[in-house]
Structure 1
Amino acid sequence: MSAYGHEMEREYSIRSLESRGGSELGSRYAVESGFYMTSFAATIFIGGLVTVGILLVTLLIALAVMLQSCQSSRAGVVEIAKASDDYSYCKMYALHAELNSLEVEADYFPSVCRVLAIQYLKAGLYTRDLNFTMWMIESYFSTLSPTPDGLDVVLLDIDYVVAPSPQCTKLLMDGIDPCGNVDDIKEANHLKQMLTLKLFLSLQASGWPVILISRKPEGQRNATTELLISAGYGDWASLIMRVDDEMQMDSRGYISRQRTILQEGGFRITCLISCQMDALMGPNLGKRVFKLPNPLYYDFQRLTERKKLA
């Protein structure tokens, strides 16, 4: 073989080796540039992804709960607002009925107000109001003493204490007894009678002359006296009832007239106690006036607050 042939063969061999060498280097480079991860690292990576997923799901659940809570709160606000509207409506209706001494028939009295009045009894709010009023009266008299001349008197309205009246009880009983509400009303009246009698006896024991006043006609004196005695009353200073020429007067004018007669006769009205507005208006009211709570005229705001706490 010629020298030129040897030279060509050597160049061919070198090119072949270089070609194979380049291929091996490229292959090695491809392997080294890939993403290598051990099984431990892979476990940590997957665990991290799972943790992030759980946190995202928890966040979504928390947001959903918060949204539902906000919706419930808004619904509660609407309900309270509706209750406040009913309260204001019934309070104004009842207040004007009482101020004007209206003998409102049950059919014309708003049904929502009858329901709220029963709730006022069932929730125990009437009992609390009555006990608090009695406490105020007792606290007032704890600082006073009657004068020896016997002219300092207490004027007590008995019509809405000894016997139930249309305004205090009948109005509630008519048409709202499908759930046994009459028992609640009777219990409220019994409590009022019991606490008023306790107050009457306490005043007597302290030496206060108690004058009883009634809107009933003089012709019913014997029956009224028997009713008072059977209820536990006795030894009252006087029992005032309507005579014939007073029968045409409204109750507010009649009671106001009797107060004037007492004061003109030298008596000093230390306190006037009634559960009706007609007895607590006009001249010559005396030194202090106390209104006993009436089952018909309620304070629904306290009931609303009680529902908020429930």
Structure 2
Amino acid sequence: MQMGRHLGFLLVFISLFIGLAVADWNILNRKKKNELGSSLKNYCESWRINVELNNIRGFDVVPQECIDFIGKYMTSTQYKVDSERALEECTLYLSSCCTFKGDGKDAWIFDVDDTLLSLVPYYKKHHFGGEKLNMTSLEAWMRESKAPALQHTMKLFHEIKSSGLKIFLISSRRECLRTHTVDNLIKVGYHGWTNLILRELEDENVQVQNYKANARKRLVDEGYRIWGIIGDQWSSVEGLPTAKRTFKLPNCLYHVS
């Protein structure tokens, strides 16, 4: 009988404990649910910042839970302001850094995609980086020559050109896209660059960073002094030889190594 009482008491205690545990778990779940919006925003903003810092590399897709956040950022006023701030630093640098020799060998390098031309309209149709890149699809879109200009970069492009620097465009686009790329650049208002360097067949299996560094080396070997580089990917500005100063524009849609 006494054993039965002890067993009954134990069962009541266990039931009460489980009930409290379940209640606490439910409270935690509700709390988590209520805070999900801000927590997810913080996570996605942290992910975006670490992409820009080059801590997160080689990702194939934007995390599914961050697609909306990344899409809103890349089409926001904040993205434009961030880009304009970076380019203001270029202007400040050019106003005080450089004594050009005027011998035709002072040079500046621009990337093309998401530096001069925006791929955001393409990525908007493909879940803002939430889909793994289909290069055939992207190149078909590039052949339409409809990429809009990044207006904040165009202004700087023409300022640099008017200062007498030679402008070189070094893009990871393939050589077969030359006509379409030139048409697109001219159509939106870019003109007067010295050379557009695209990937030849022998470059297609070379990492982008190495390909662009090799292109810069050829320019240096020809006697050019590279005062600056502007690009949206770290692979556009890293590697040797580099410029006296490099500038990185924001882009968290994709990573090119």
Q: TM-score range by the shorter chain?
A: 0.5 to 0.7
Report if aligned partners of 1:204, 1:210 keep a CA contact under 8 Å in 2.
Answer: yes
Task: State the secondary structure of the residue aligned to 2:183.
Answer: helix
- Separation in structure 2 between the aligned mates of residue 112 and residue 207 of structure 1, nearest angstrom: 47
Task: State the secondary structure of the residue aligned to 1:270.
Answer: strand
Task: State the secondary structure of the residue aligned to 1:150.
Answer: coil
Q: In structure 2, what is the equivalent of residue 120 of structure 1?
A: 73
Q: How does 1:77-156 map to 2 (within 5 A)?
A: 80=38, 83-92=41-50, 99-100=57-58, 102=59, 104-105=60-61, 109-121=62-74, 124-143=77-96, 144-156=98-110
Q: In structure 2, do the counterparts of structure 1 residues 205 and 122 end up closer, same or farther at CA, with 3 Å as the change threshold?
A: closer
Q: How does 1:183-202 map to 2 (within 5 A)?
A: 190=148, 193-202=150-159
Q: In structure 1, what is the equivalent of residue 170 of structure 2?
A: 213
- Separation in structure 2 between the aligned mates of residue 227 and residue 196 of structure 1, nearest angstrom: 15
AA partner of residue 266 (structure 1): G
Displacement after TM superposition at 1:136 (Å): 0.8
- Separation in structure 2 between the aligned mates of residue 138 and residue 295 of structure 1, nearest angstrom: 24
**Matched residue pairs, number?**
203
AA partner of residue 87 (structure 1): E
Displacement after TM superposition at 1:98 (Å): 6.8
- Separation in structure 2 between the aligned mates of residue 158 and residue 82 of structure 1, nearest angstrom: 32
Report if aligned partners of 1:273, 1:291 keep a CA contact under 8 Å in 2.
Answer: yes
Percent sequence identity over matched residues? Answer: 26
The structure with the largest helix share of the pair is: 1
Unaligned runs of 5+ in 2: 1-32, 129-146
- Separation in structure 1 between the aligned mates of residue 48 and residue 202 of structure 2, nearest angstrom: 36
Task: State the secondary structure of the residue aligned to 1:142.
Answer: helix
Displacement after TM superposition at 1:231 (Å): 2.0
Task: State the secondary structure of the residue aligned to 1:147.
Answer: coil
Report if aligned partners of 2:110, 2:116 keep a CA contact under 8 Å in 1.
Answer: no
Equivalent of residue 125 in structure 2, options 133, 156, 173: 173
Q: CA RMSD in A?
A: 3.0
Displacement after TM superposition at 1:93 (Å): 6.3
Once the two structures are superposed, residues 45-77 of structure 1 have per-residue CA deviations (whole angstroms, 9 ceiling, x without a partner) of xxxxxxxxxxxxxxxxxxxxxxxxxxxxxx999
Equivalent of residue 267 in structure 1, options 202, 214, 224: 224
Q: In structure 2, do the counterparts of structure 1 residues 218 and 296 end up closer, same or farther at CA, with 3 Å as the change threshold?
A: closer
Q: In structure 2, do the counterparts of structure 1 residues 174 and 99 end up closer, same or farther at CA, with 3 Å as the change threshold?
A: same
Q: In structure 2, what is the equivalent of residue 51 of structure 1?
A: none
Equivalent of residue 284 in structure 1, options 232, 235, 241: 241
Displacement after TM superposition at 1:207 (Å): 1.1
- Separation in structure 1 between the aligned mates of residue 99 and residue 87 of structure 2, nearest angstrom: 18
Unaligned runs of 5+ in 1: 1-74, 177-188, 298-310
Q: In structure 2, do the counterparts of structure 1 residues 227 and 87 end up closer, same or farther at CA, with 3 Å as the change threshold?
A: closer
TM-score by length of 1: 0.57
Which of 1 and 2 has greater Rg?
1
TM-score by length of 2: 0.67
Displacement after TM superposition at 1:248 (Å): 1.7
AA partner of residue 173 (structure 1): K
